[in-house]
């Protein structure tokens, strides 16, 4: 498994801790920045890099960290094929995969402790999409096509 990770300055510390956790689990990590927390950067730039990487099939999943996870999710969801979810706990992390077939997880570095975030990331990666939601996912894809016209 390969996970593309990205963050702005507010999510840098969390991204670094989660990337280390993933490497420790034997998961491949494609780190697309940012590379420190001292320089303010714009979260849409990193959301775009990670989302495009997942959409191109260079990574199985994306992980995006900003202050809240919200900006990252809004930006990543503009990339066709991306279903980015900002989650709040282990349960919503699982549901984002099983019900919503999310392929990018967005977490808030200013809101979560590292152990909480690790629990959510592990739950997200271990959960499996449920087939019964396929029709709804197809309708999300239809909205992308409609927007492209």
131 vs 77: CA distance, rounded Å: 22
CA 45 to chain centre: 14
Q: Burial of 74 by CB count in 10 Å (0-12 exposed, 13-18 middle, 19+ buried)?
A: middle
- What residue number has its CB nearest to ligand RB5? 71
Per the annotation, the verdict on 99 as an active-site residue is yes
Whose tokens are 């690790």? That residue is 118
12 binds ligand RB5 (CB under 6 A): no
From 88, 99, 106, 133, active-site residue: 99
In this complex, which beta carbon is closest to ligand RB5, that of residue 108 or of residue 124? 108
Q: How far is the CB of 13 from ligand RB5 (least distance, A)?
A: 12
In this complex, which beta carbon is closest to ligand RB5, that of residue 23 or of residue 110? 110
Per the annotation, the verdict on 133 as an active-site residue is no
Output DSSP code: residue 27: -
* Near ligand RB5 in 42-71, by CB under 6 A: 43, 66-68, 70-71
42 vs 124: CA distance, rounded Å: 26
- What are the tokens at 127? 């959960």
In this complex, which beta carbon is closest to ligand RB5, that of residue 65 or of residue 96? 65
10 vs 28: CA distance, rounded Å: 23
In this complex, which beta carbon is closest to ligand RB5, that of residue 113 or of residue 126? 113
- Evaluate whether 47 touches 64 at the Cβ level (below 8 Å): yes
Q: How far is the CB of 116 from ligand RB5 (least distance, A)?
A: 17
Q: Which residues are catalytic?
A: 66, 99
Q: Which residues bind ligand RB5 (CB under 6 A)?
A: 8, 10, 43, 66-68, 70-71
């Amino acid at each position: 498994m390969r996970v593309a990770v990205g963050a702005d300055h507010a999510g840098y510390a969390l991204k670094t801790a989660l990337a280390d956790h993933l490497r420790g689990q034997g998961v491949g990590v494609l780190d697309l920045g940012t590379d420190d927390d001292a320089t303010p950067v714009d979260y849409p730039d990193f959301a775009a890099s990670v989302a495009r990487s997942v959409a191109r099939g260079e990574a199985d999943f994306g992980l995006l960290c900003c202050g809240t996870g919200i900006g990252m999710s809004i930006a990543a969801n503009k990339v066709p094929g991306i279903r980015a979810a900002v989650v709040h706990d282990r349960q919503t992390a699982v549901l984002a995969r099983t019900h919503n077939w999310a392929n990018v997880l967005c977490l808030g570095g200013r809101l979560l402790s590292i152990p909480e975030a690790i629990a959510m990331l592990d739950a997200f990666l271990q959960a499996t999409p449920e087939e019964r939601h396929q029709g709804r996912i197809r309708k999300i894809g239809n909205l992308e096509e409609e927007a492209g016209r």
